[in-house]
Structure 1
């Protein structure tokens, strides 16, 4: 059961970032597709499955926020990603602010994935300090 959940989770990770990247490109180009009903609903479905699968796996392996550092880091990263994504796709007042938030959200997303792969709260940041 765990591996099925992990497969679902990883699939949703990929679908989520692909969808966010596409919506970010549409935002930067001013495309009306950003307002399409499917564009507004599908990310919530994918992200809900992503979150539910993460919670189920955390329970199965006994790794919880504020207990396991890497899980705590992922939750904090997720909150940052959500805020940056909201600024990028909806809340940013200028195109420059939206573009900056979009790039920052992509960087945070990459960091979250690296935290998950390395099981380290620093994620890929650990390599930036290594010489």
Structure 2
């Protein structure tokens, strides 16, 4: 049986490759680079994302933690759907470069949110520090 730790490292590696690849393709799209037409550039992201999704599902099964049962996993799933939607608009569907740039930034924000949720294991993700900072500065109730 595959260990959870192995799946986690596989997943984290694919997250890094997927995010870096998406950013690179976004830059290439904005600069009209011919690199986008290379076969590997068109195929590799699908392979990496398939392994990424497969490792996520395997970790959920091994740990018995599932979206809609664990709130931070639900937040990651919602973030993933936003990331996919914005990413599709950024790389393929938006009509102008300006629109593509806006969707690229939105997709990268969604990606950062997903990673922050995973690190914090909180649906607040990087917003958790705001809640902590706010609660630390509030005077205690008398």
**Structure 2 residue corresponding to 1:111, chosen from 107, 110, 113:** 113
Asked if 1:38 is matched to 2:10, the reply is: no
Deviation at 1:126, TM superposition (A): 2.3
Deviation at 1:23, TM superposition (A): 0.2
Distance 1:126 1:11 in 2: 25
* Superposition map of 1:83-94 within 5 A: 83-94=85-96
Aligned to 2:140: none
Counterpart secondary structure, 2:125:
coil
- TM-score with structure 1 setting the length: 0.96
After TM superposition, the runs of 4+ consecutive aligned structure 1 residues lying more than 2 A away are 126-131
Counterpart secondary structure, 1:124:
helix
RMSD: 1.0
- TM-score with structure 2 setting the length: 0.89
**Structure 2 residue corresponding to 1:50, chosen from 31, 52, 68:** 52
* Superposition map of 1:5-16 within 5 A: 5-16=7-18
Q: Larger C-alpha radius of gyration, 1 or 2?
A: 2
Deviation at 1:36, TM superposition (A): 1.6
Aligned to 1:78: 80
Structure 2 residues without counterparts, runs of 5 or longer: 135-142
